[in-house]
Amino acid sequence: MPRTQKAAPQAPSTMKELKDTLWKAADKLRGSMDASQYKDVILGLVFLKYVSDAFDERRAGIHAELSADGYDEDQIADLIDDTDEYTGRGVFWVPANARWGFLAENAKGAQVDGVDKSIGLLIDEAMDAVMHANPQLSGTLPRIFNRDNVDQRRLGELVDLFNSARFAAQGQGGSDGRRARDLLGEVYEYFLAKFAAAEGRRAGEFYTPAGVVRVLVEVLQPTRGRVYDPACGSGGMFVQSEKFIDAHHGEGSDISVYGQENNERTWRLAKMNLAIHGLAGNLGPRWGDTFARDLHPELTGSNGADFAMANPPFNQDEWARNEDDPRWRFGVPPARNANYAWIQHILSKLAPGGQAGIVMANGSMSSNSGGEGQIRAEIVEADLVSCMVALPTQLFRSTGIPVCVWFFAKDKGARAGEVLFIDARGLGHMVDRAERALSDDDIAKIAGTFHAWRGVESDAAPDEYTDVPGFCFSATLAEIKAADYALTPGRYVGAAEAEDDGEPIEEKLARLRGELESQFTESARLAEVVRAQLGRVHV
């Protein structure tokens, strides 16, 4: 017998309540499987709950519209299942056996057509039904809920817990129908961050810290055109681009998203993430190695990417290297490090006026091994590097490797023949012992400096650019050549100017010398006291 569904609370859930509820949900399965497994279970359920809530909300809206137009209940019943009324509004069609109400009623399992089915099997069938009804989700949703290592009792409790969380009818402002999507998107990103912290080093393949992504997005300002990420992870670059557009009163539909991801599970996370944020991204028909098989060969020349943003694997020592690959315009990358393969691949994808931002290990800025120094020199001389940013340490929980961001531009305008260097290593604050974060002000300082240098108007940009010792410096290509094409910002920005405290330097030196002599005298006195005390000790 199916049990009675527990009533959902009438009051909308706040963001804090939702996050607390859903993290408790993760705890339900934490002891029975590893982090990567329960990540897929939890995020899959979050997605299914969202599409069901959004579907129910749209269904109620259709009913209200038809009732207002004078239709009776029989007529409404004939019309309310028109799929176009849902998909035309950006709502996924959810078949009856995939709706949350059905799953909640059968959280302990059910007998269907004389067959006993566990809640895990019912959820797997729900995932199949949603993918079949919405071809754009084909191959995306996890079907892992009926496996032997999934505790069905705990999974049922999990469904009960999710039943109290609402991703629709939140009562937030705005009439564009995106409030539920925005809410769920924030929860999804929150969970990605939490799972990244739980998985440690393994998390690097799917998660780039939000602050690092925002540096790329705020500097490049991708408001229209084609946006590309050849190592897209869970899609954070695309999501932050959509948020940037929304914050500047644009439309997410002004960008076309292209991505590729080599890890199957991460590719599925990205597909769900884009769907949640209403982004119709082209991540290829399946996951795949960017070097072995480029899934977006159409992105080239005049049809290339207007913006490319990526956080590829650092210092990748095993990759599909082909010395005859036409992408190696500036030189064949070494076999044991793919850094310059990623850089050249992305450069090959840019449209004539395209721009790119790539997160790299710091070693990429000065390495000369395997011909990397010559490749870097060729790229600099082609005047493609627009800005180099050295980031602070510990931004990535998954690695202790110091990182930087390379920015490229096919057309630097009035800044042709120059490169902006920004040393941002002193920015950021520690959120715990292991991780540092960039504040809004930190990100605005980096982006505003770049925009002022380029002469681009932005909220964060000062009226005009000036070099700031210890932070930023605009170098000519001749100056970079003189430094043997090393692109480390610290070589160019110099030391920060010392603050003038009003004390003449001669007087300050005399005062400090006197204080030091006094400390030496006191140190000698204390040493004599210690010796005297030791002399009284009898062994």
DSSP string, 299-333: --GGGSEEEEEE-PPTT--S----TT-TT-TT-PP
Tell me, yes or no, whether 333 and 456 share the same domain.
Answer: yes
Specify whether the CB–CB gap between 109 and 152 falls below 8 A.
Answer: yes
Residue 9 forms part of a structural domain: no
Averaged pLDDT for residues 315-343 = 96
Q: What is the CATH number of the domain that holds 36?
A: 1.20.1260.30
What total of structural domains would you count in the chain? 3
d(CA 304, CA 298): 8
Residue 197 forms part of a structural domain: no
Residue 309 forms part of a structural domain: yes
pLDDT tier for residue 170 given thresholds of 50, 70 and 90: very low
**Listed range (35-39, 170-174, 304-308) with the worst mean pLDDT:** 170-174
What secondary structure, in 3-state letters, does 270-302 show?
HHHHHHHCCCCCECCCCCCCCCCCCCCCCCCHH
Residue 234 forms part of a structural domain: yes
d(CA 140, CA 130): 10
> What pLDDT is stored for residue 316 in this prediction?
93
Residue 72 forms part of a structural domain: yes
- pLDDT: which is higher, 426 or 139: 426
Averaged pLDDT for residues 406-420 = 97
Residue 368 forms part of a structural domain: yes
Residue 349: other Cβ atoms inside 10 A = 23
Residue 404: other Cβ atoms inside 10 A = 23
Per-residue pLDDT at 234 exceeds 50: yes
d(CA 279, CA 24): 29
d(CA 49, CA 165): 9
> What pLDDT is stored for residue 249 in this prediction?
63
> What pLDDT is stored for residue 199 in this prediction?
65
**Listed range (9-13, 402-406, 531-535) with the worst mean pLDDT:** 9-13
Per-residue pLDDT at 165 exceeds 70: no
Specify whether the CB–CB gap between 385 and 417 falls below 8 A.
Answer: no
**Listed range (11-20, 307-316, 449-458, 516-525) with the worst mean pLDDT:** 11-20
> What pLDDT is stored for residue 173 in this prediction?
33
Tell me, yes or no, whether 432 and 537 share the same domain.
Answer: no
Mean pLDDT (the chain) is 86
User: What does the pLDDT look like over 374-403, one tens digit per residue?
Assistant: 999 999 999 999 999 999 998 887 677 889
Within 8 A by CB and 6+ apart from 260, the residues are: 229, 230, 231, 232, 283, 284, 287, 288, 290, 294, 295, 296
Tell me, yes or no, whether 489 and 517 share the same domain.
Answer: no
Q: Where are the beta strands (DSSP E) in 384-462?
A: 385-390, 403-409, 418-423, 429-430, 436-437
User: What does the pLDDT look like over 496-536, one tens digit per residue?
Assistant: 765 555 667 777 787 878 888 888 888 888 888 888 877 77
Instruction: State how beta strands 305-310 and 225-229 pair.
Output: parallel
Averaged pLDDT for residues 290-294 = 96
Per-residue pLDDT at 227 exceeds 70: yes
Of 159, 178, 197, the residue at which a domain comes to its end is 178
Specify whether the CB–CB gap between 494 and 470 falls below 8 A.
Answer: yes
> What pLDDT is stored for residue 275 in this prediction?
84
> What pLDDT is stored for residue 522 in this prediction?
83
Residue 186 forms part of a structural domain: no
> What pLDDT is stored for residue 54 in this prediction?
85
Tell me, yes or no, whether 360 and 416 share the same domain.
Answer: yes
> What pLDDT is stored for residue 460 in this prediction?
72
d(CA 274, CA 234): 9
Tell me, yes or no, whether 51 and 88 share the same domain.
Answer: yes
Q: Which of 208, 229, 246, 355 is nearest to 281 (CA)?
A: 229
Q: Write down the H helix ranges in 387-504.
A: 440-454, 477-482, 490-493
Tell me, yes or no, whether 214 and 332 share the same domain.
Answer: yes
Tell me, yes or no, whether 357 and 408 share the same domain.
Answer: yes
Tokens read off for 220: 């490049």
d(CA 272, CA 277): 9
Of 178, 193, 220, the residue at which a domain comes to its end is 178
d(CA 447, CA 339): 24
What are residue 106's phi and psi, to 5 degrees?
-120, 35
Tell me, yes or no, whether 456 and 488 share the same domain.
Answer: yes
Averaged pLDDT for residues 318-333 = 96
Specify whether the CB–CB gap between 438 and 215 falls below 8 A.
Answer: yes
Q: What is the CATH number of the domain that holds 302?
A: 3.40.50.150
Residue 200 forms part of a structural domain: no
Range of the domain at 100: 15-178
Tell me, yes or no, whether 473 and 368 share the same domain.
Answer: yes
Tokens read off for 463: 């009226």
Q: What is the largest CA-CA distance in the chain?
A: 106
Tell me, yes or no, whether 339 and 413 share the same domain.
Answer: yes
Tokens read off for 440: 């809004």
pLDDT tier for residue 182 given thresholds of 50, 70 and 90: low
Tokens read off for 384: 């493609």
Tell me, yes or no, whether 130 and 264 share the same domain.
Answer: no
Tell me, yes or no, whether 163 and 219 share the same domain.
Answer: no
pLDDT tier for residue 166 given thresholds of 50, 70 and 90: low
> What pLDDT is stored for residue 36 in this prediction?
64
pLDDT tier for residue 201 given thresholds of 50, 70 and 90: low
pTM: 0.81
Which residues is 422 bridged to in the sheet?
389, 472
